[in-house]
Chains A and B, each alone.
Chain A
Amino acid sequence: MSGTGSLVQKFLLALGVVALIFLLVEIGATLAATLHGSTPARVDHVTAGPYHFTVSLYDDPARAGFTLPFAIAPQGATGGSWTYQVTSMPLGTPNKRNGTILVDGKRSATPIKDSVSPDSQVPGGVQGTAEITVAGHWALQVVVDGPSGQQTFMVPVTATTLPAIPGWLGWFIGFIPVYIIAVFVFMQMRRKEQRAKNVVQVG
């Protein structure tokens, strides 16, 4: 193995280790995002018909691409049965081309049904995680079926993301495997040529 080849291989190994660390951190961050914190980042008091609710959001603003943990607790009389259906609704203009919604007029998104489960600590309350796929203005649409009938209310949510990188930089990074495959192919082809030369010299 030549000195340059050895250096390239060590560089590739270091790059691989860094990439692996990045991946583990990312997995950790994604898992952490699904967990409810001990204290909510925002608490809204909402009235919907005869009902009063406290809606707790555990991230404010929400992080687009990550789940947003939330909890809904009815206030006052909490007897009877309560069912909730929560949907993350992108706010914007309809995209006639494919039926999606353009959030802030530029990012397409679709409504997403969110998962909820009963909150054992709060009678009649639920907790869940909302999916927010793109940055911009969203709302959690809550359809609640309680002792006094069905009501719907919205909780506005703003989602942010990391600062945008220029398109060309995205393409440059996205093509990294292609560059490395190209280098690999080039090195394999050169080895073939060198071998052919050696065969000729021996002959």
Chain B
Amino acid sequence: MAQAVKGLTLGDLNAQEGSHHELLRLRLALGWTILFAALVGLFAVSWDIQWHSAVGRDRTLTAPHLFILGSIVALGIPALIAVLVETRWAKRSSAIAKSGTPFAGFFSSSMGAYLVGYGALCSAIAFPVDQYWHTLYGIDVSLWAPFHIMALAGLSASCLGVVYIFISSATLATHDGAKGSARAGYIGAIIACAVLLGVFSIILEPSLEKSLFLGNLTFSVHPLMLGAFGMFTLVIATRVLPWRLAATSVALVYIFFGLVNYVLIPQLMTLLVGIEQQTYLPRAPHVAVLSVTWLYSLIIAAVLLDVVTGIAQRRAWSLRRASRATIVIALVGTVLAVLCSPLFLSIARLHTNFILFLAVSLLLGVLGGYVGTWLGTGIGESIRREA
């Protein structure tokens, strides 16, 4: 006799559980594939920046460019597979359809898969257009060039998308009581947040040396961007991960990536310069450029955010009170992260009116931290909701 639970037969429930299990496996497998591709993309961009600074942008298909292109393909294809397979499954199973987000009246997949695919497409389009931009303006155009930003924004969207995928996988796994898969999802989300922070660090790199002028006032946008990007990512981590050390874990993995950059990139440069029989440009940097500008001091903000999140949970603060406390701590964390950045301070000291420069820049940092926290809270909630 079929047992009925809330209108569903046991057979229905078993079928639902089975389809959830398949969906979980698909999302985890593709999520880790995409994460690996994003990680390769992060280090390939770092290698490429080093190649441009030390050798010059020579050929189109240098090894770093090949790795970047490979990572874009490896981001896009699993995302496409995820969308197509889940759409097909959703047409056969209402349980899977409920776990997906419909798109354009035809597709059904996780929000993350759409974001990853969209990001990969943007980065892929940016590559040849950037090539054209270089033919017009030379090989050493700034990192803040239109199609570099397009490519990096695409990579950022992909990293954010993979966070969605992992959190949705972890939620499915928790529903199914699959603790190991849930842990794999959450660990993936931590690494994905760290990769996202890494991509943001690449976007931030030129901000260290750029000063803006408003009349007699000179200031830097570095604290503004550090606050916005840093808090955005760390607050997402505190919102979507059920662990007390969510933001700290992300910051630690991110710092590890900075150290890998420091060790790996010079080795790759030596190897490739030897293979290609290239010569270094005069004044070529021999230390990995990005490992120097990496935002190590964000660990302070991460620890503070985790502490306040932990206190809010233990004392069962209201949502409003917890949000206010998070904002205040994020702003303090931003200011401390800026003040503990020796590179930024050494550049700031070069300005005649150091105190005024620092004060205005920090004020902008507070603004950036506020915006980052606000957006991070909203997107964090969205990721949880979509899961």
**CB of B273 to closest CB in A, whole Å:** 12
The answer to whether A99 touches B283, judged by C-beta atoms less than 8 angstroms apart, is yes
**CB of A32 to closest CB in B, whole Å:** 13
Give the contacts of B73-130 with A (CB-CB under 8 A). 102-105, 115, 117-119, 121-122, 124-126, 128-129
Residues of the A chain whose Cβ atoms lie less than 8 Å from the Cβ of B136: 107, 134-135, 161, 164
**CB of B156 to closest CB in A, whole Å:** 8
Give the contacts of A35-79 with B (CB-CB under 8 A). 64-67
A156 and B272 alpha carbons, distance in the complex (Å)? 29
The answer to whether B121 touches A100, judged by C-beta atoms less than 8 angstroms apart, is no
Given known pairs A9-B103, A161-B136, the reply for A113 and B282 (CB within 8 Å) is: no
* Residue from B119, B138, B385 within 8 A of A109 (CB atoms): B138
The answer to whether B103 touches A65, judged by C-beta atoms less than 8 angstroms apart, is no
Residue of B nearest to A25 (CB): B128
Residues of the A chain whose Cβ atoms lie less than 8 Å from the Cβ of B58: 110, 112, 131, 133
Residues of the B chain whose Cβ atoms lie less than 8 Å from the Cβ of A19: 121, 125
The answer to whether B60 touches A178, judged by C-beta atoms less than 8 angstroms apart, is no
Give the contacts of B366-387 with A (CB-CB under 8 A). 375, 378-379, 381-382, 385
**CB of A22 to closest CB in B, whole Å:** 7
Residues of the B chain whose Cβ atoms lie less than 8 Å from the Cβ of A189: 375, 378, 382
Residue of A nearest to B149 (CB): A174
Q: Is B18 an interface residue (CB 8 A)?
A: no
The answer to whether B132 touches A178, judged by C-beta atoms less than 8 angstroms apart, is no
Q: Is B36 an interface residue (CB 8 A)?
A: no
Q: Is A122 an interface residue (CB 8 A)?
A: no
Q: Is A202 an interface residue (CB 8 A)?
A: no
Interface size class of A (residues with CB under 8 A): 35 or more
The answer to whether B146 touches A177, judged by C-beta atoms less than 8 angstroms apart, is no
> How many contacts A-B (CB < 8 Å)?
147
The answer to whether B135 touches A64, judged by C-beta atoms less than 8 angstroms apart, is yes
**CB of A166 to closest CB in B, whole Å:** 11
A62 and B119 alpha carbons, distance in the complex (Å)? 32
* Residue from B104, B126, B145 within 8 A of A6 (CB atoms): B104
A170 and B130 alpha carbons, distance in the complex (Å)? 10
Residue of B nearest to A176 (CB): B150
Given known pairs A6-B105, A108-B139, A173-B129, the reply for A133 and B150 (CB within 8 Å) is: no
**CB of A109 to closest CB in B, whole Å:** 6
Given known pairs A185-B379, A191-B382, A192-B378, the reply for A170 and B146 (CB within 8 Å) is: yes
A6 and B102 alpha carbons, distance in the complex (Å)? 10
Q: Is A200 an interface residue (CB 8 A)?
A: no
The answer to whether A110 touches B139, judged by C-beta atoms less than 8 angstroms apart, is yes
Q: Is A10 an interface residue (CB 8 A)?
A: yes
A174 and B60 alpha carbons, distance in the complex (Å)? 20
**CB of A142 to closest CB in B, whole Å:** 17
Q: Is B131 an interface residue (CB 8 A)?
A: yes
- A sample of 9 cross-chain residue pairs with beta-carbon separation below 8 angstroms, ordered by A number, consists of A6-B104, A12-B104, A26-B128, A65-B131, A98-B283, A99-B281, A100-B281, A161-B136, A170-B145
Q: What residues of chain B have their CB less than 8 Å away from a CB belonging to chain A?
A: 55-60, 102-105, 115, 117-119, 121-122, 124-126, 128-129, 131-140, 145-150, 153-154, 156-157, 276-278, 281-283, 375, 378-379, 381-382, 385
Q: What residues of chain A have their CB less than 8 Å away from a CB belonging to chain B?
A: 1, 6, 9-10, 12-13, 16, 19-20, 22-23, 26, 30, 64-67, 98-100, 102-103, 106-110, 112-113, 131, 133-135, 159, 161-162, 164, 170-171, 173-178, 180-181, 184-185, 188-189, 191-192, 195
